[in-house]
């Protein structure tokens, strides 16, 4: 049961919680859809009919854990190119001057955005065929086909691999009870993918705030426009955000880092 492990560092990151606007809140670790988007970017996948997407990425089971040093709230200007907003700001569509200065087209409004500093992530990726995991590992190590600079969250939230991506084999994983405060945040999905002898876990008994997280998506009417930035229809999964305190369970453990792995099973995700 090979699992690909990614150890990622980000100087700054923002993983936006949907439907937060005047103040844009962030999750403490990225949701599944953000990691899936990262993998698509690294592999150069801009077409969901791509063989790599259909045979590898769409079949993955993913676990996410991580921490950050501090959270800051930054004040920014949110700008848009709306004609209506422009007229509201300047009184006329042909005017761009305020107090003798030429200003931004459209409208602008002050906004707060939560930004995480010194983010460290442990991402685990499972595929039932080891050769497919190796293909993904090679793409991440040498991302010559990437669509953009590798990032997680906003386009400016660049990533650095703290260690080379590593495939963990059976002897590097263990199932055991380990009661601890891991000092990490974990996503614990309501449908944990069970590997071989991995124990059953009662989701309702686990501690954590409940979220409905986005996972995979379909691009609306993709066959008609082939625009990978068009409107997406996401599938979702229920998951708990655990703050690292886990007691009373047998867990699948990464022996080297001594932390549990909660692989999400997405085949039963619901469209949202």
pLDDT in tens, 185-236: 999 999 999 876 666 788 888 899 999 999 998 888 887 887 777 788 999 9
Tokens coding 49: 């009919």
- The whole-angstrom separation of Cα 211 and Cα 186 is 12
Q: Would you say residue 167 has pLDDT above 90?
A: yes
Residue 170 pLDDT exceeds 90: no
How far are the Cα atoms of 97, 122, 152, 233 from residue 165, in angstroms, in the given order?
52, 10, 16, 30
The residue written with tokens 């010194």 in the block is 118
What does the block give as tokens for 141? 């190590």
- Answer yes or no: are the C-beta atoms of 148 and 41 closer than 8 Å: yes
Q: Per-residue pLDDT for 30 more than 80? A: yes
| Whole-number percent of the chain with pLDDT over 70 | 97
Quick one: pLDDT at residue 79?
84
How distant is the alpha carbon of residue 58 from its chain centre? 15
pLDDT tens profile 64-76: 999 999 999 999 8
User: Is the separation of the CB atoms in 174 and 255 below 8 Å?
Assistant: yes
> Which of 108-112, 113-117, 233-237 is modeled with the greatest confidence?
113-117
Q: Give me Rg for the CA atoms of the chain.
A: 21
CA distance 80 to 211: 30
Does the structure show a pLDDT above 70 at 269? no
Residues 6+ apart with CB under 8 A from 104: 79
Residue-level pLDDT at 261: 95
Backbone φ/ψ region at 55: left (φ over 0), alpha (ψ -120 to 50), beta: alpha
Percent of the chain with pLDDT over 90: 62
- Give the Cα separation of 117 and 14 in Å (integer): 9
The Cα–Cα gap between 108 and 125 comes to 41
CATH 1.10.287 for the 3-72+115-271 domain, yes or no: no
Confidence band for 106, pLDDT divided at 50, 70 and 90: confident
Beta bridge mates, 217:
234
CA 95 to each of CA 18, 78, 84, 110: distance values in angstroms, whole numbers, following the listed order:
34, 20, 13, 21
H-helix or E-strand containing 213? strand 209-219
Residue-wise burial string across 65-74, b where 16 or more C-beta atoms lie within 10 A, e elsewhere: bbbbeeeeee
Question: Residue 115's CB: how many other CB atoms inside 10 A?
Answer: 20
Q: What pLDDT is attached to residue 67? A: 98
- pLDDT for 182 equals 95
Work out the average pLDDT over 100-105: 87
What's residue 272's pLDDT? 53
Residue 121 CA, distance from chain mean position = 10
**Which pLDDT value is given to residue 199?**
67
Phi, psi of 118 (to 5 degrees): 55, 65
pLDDT of residue 223: 79
Per the model's pLDDT, the better-predicted residue between 78 and 162 turns out to be: 162
Question: DSSP label at 145?
Answer: T
Write the DSSP symbol of residue 101.
E
Question: Higher model confidence: residue 139 or residue 196?
Answer: 139
Average pLDDT, the chain: 91
- Segment 145-174 shows an average pLDDT of 94
């Amino acid at each position: 049961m090979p699992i690909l492990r990614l150890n990622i560092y980000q100087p700054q990151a923002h993983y936006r919680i949907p439907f937060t606007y005047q103040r844009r809140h962030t999750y403490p670790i990225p949701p599944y859809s953000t990691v899936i988007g990262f993998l698509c970017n690294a592999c150069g996948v801009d077409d969901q009919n791509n063989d790599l997407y259909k045979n590898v990425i769409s079949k993955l089971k993913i676990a996410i854990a991580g921490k950050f040093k501090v959270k800051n709230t930054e004040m920014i200007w949110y700008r848009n190119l709306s004609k209506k907003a422009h007229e509201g700001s300047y009184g006329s569509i042909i005017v761009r001057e305020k107090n003798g200065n030429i200003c931004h087209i459209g409208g602008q409004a002050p906004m707060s955005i939560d930004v995480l500093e010194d983010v460290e992530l442990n991402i685990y990726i499972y595929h039932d065929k080891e050769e497919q995991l190796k293909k993904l590992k090679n793409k991440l190590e040498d991302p010559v086909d990437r669509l953009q600079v590798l990032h997680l969250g906003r386009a400016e939230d660049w990533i650095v691999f703290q260690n080379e991506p590593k495939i963990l084999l059976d002897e590097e994983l263990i199932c055991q009870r380990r009661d601890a405060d891991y000092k990490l945040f974990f996503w614990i999905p309501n449908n944990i993918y069970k590997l071989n002898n991995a124990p059953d876990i009662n989701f309702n008994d686990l501690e954590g705030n409940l979220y409905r997280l986005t996972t995979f998506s379909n691009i609306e009417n993709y066959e008609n426009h082939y625009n990978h930035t068009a409107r997406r229809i996401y599938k979702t999964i229920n998951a708990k955000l655990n703050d690292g305190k886990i007691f009373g369970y047998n867990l699948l453990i990464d022996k080297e880092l001594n932390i549990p792995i909660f692989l999400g099973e997405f085949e039963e995700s619901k469209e949202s």
